[in-house]
Structure 1
Amino acid sequence: MRNKRLKMMVVAALFSAIIAIAAQIMINIPPVPFTLMTIAVMLTATILGGKYGTLAVTVYVLMGIIGIPVFAGMKGGLGIVLGPTGGYILAIIPAAFLVGVYLEKFGYTKVQAIAANIIAVFIILILGSIWLKFVADLPWVGAFKGGMLPFILPDLAKAVVAALIGIIIRNRLVSAKLI
Structure 2
Amino acid sequence: MTNQQLKLRSMIVTALFAAIIGVLAQITIPLPQVPITGQTLAIGLAATILGSRYGTLSVLLYLIIGSTGVPVFAELSGGISKLVGPTGGFLVGFVPAAFIIGFYMEKTSFTFKNAMIANTIGMIITLAFGTTWLKISADLTWTMALAGGFTPFLVVGLIKAALASWIGIIIRKRLVSAKLLFSTHPNIKQESL
Normalization by structure 2: what TM-score? 0.92
Aligned to 1:86: 88
Aligned to 1:56: 58
How big is the shift at 1:7? 0.3
**CA separation in 2, counterparts of 1:137 and 1:46?**
35
Q: How much has 1:49 moved relative to structure 2?
A: 0.5
Aligned partners of 1:82 and 1:30: how far apart in 2? 18
Select the structure of larger CA radius of gyration. 2
1:128-171 Cα offsets, whole Å, 9 max, x none, are: 00000000001100000011111000001110111011001000
Distance 1:164 1:9 in 2: 24
Residue pairs, 1:52-131, within 5 angstroms? 52-131=54-133
**1:153 is matched with which residue: 151, 155, 162?**
155
The alpha carbon displacement at 1:40 in A equals: 0.6
Distance 1:47 1:126 in 2: 23
Is 1:177 aligned with 2:179? yes
Structure 1 runs not aligned, ≥5 long: none
**Correspondence for 1:23:** 25
- Cα deviations across residues 78-133 of structure 1 (Å, max 9, x unaligned)? 11110000000000010000011111111111111000000000000011000000
Secondary structure (helix, strand or coil) at the match of 1:154 reads helix
- Counterpart selection for 1:47 from 49, 55, 58: 49
Structure 1 Cα separation of the partners of residues 122 and 34 of structure 2: 18
Q: Distance in 2 between matches of 1:2 and 1:163?
A: 30
Aligned to 1:138: 140
Q: TM-score normalised to the size of structure 1?
A: 0.99
Which 5+ residue runs of structure 2 have no aligned equivalent?
A: 182-193
Q: Structure 1 vs Structure 2: percent identity of aligned residues?
A: 50
Shift of 1:30: 1.9
Question: Counterparts of 2:29 and 2:68 in 1: how far apart (Å)?
Answer: 24
Distance in 2 between the 1:51 and 1:33 partners? 28
Deviation at 1:10, TM superposition (A): 0.2
Which secondary structure does the structure 2 equivalent of 1:177 belong to?
A: coil
- How large is the RMSD of aligned CA atoms in angstroms? 0.6
Look up the equivalent residue of 1:177 and give its one-letter code.
K
Who is 2:184 aligned against? none
Number of equivalences? 179
4+ aligned runs moved over 4 Å, structure 1 = none
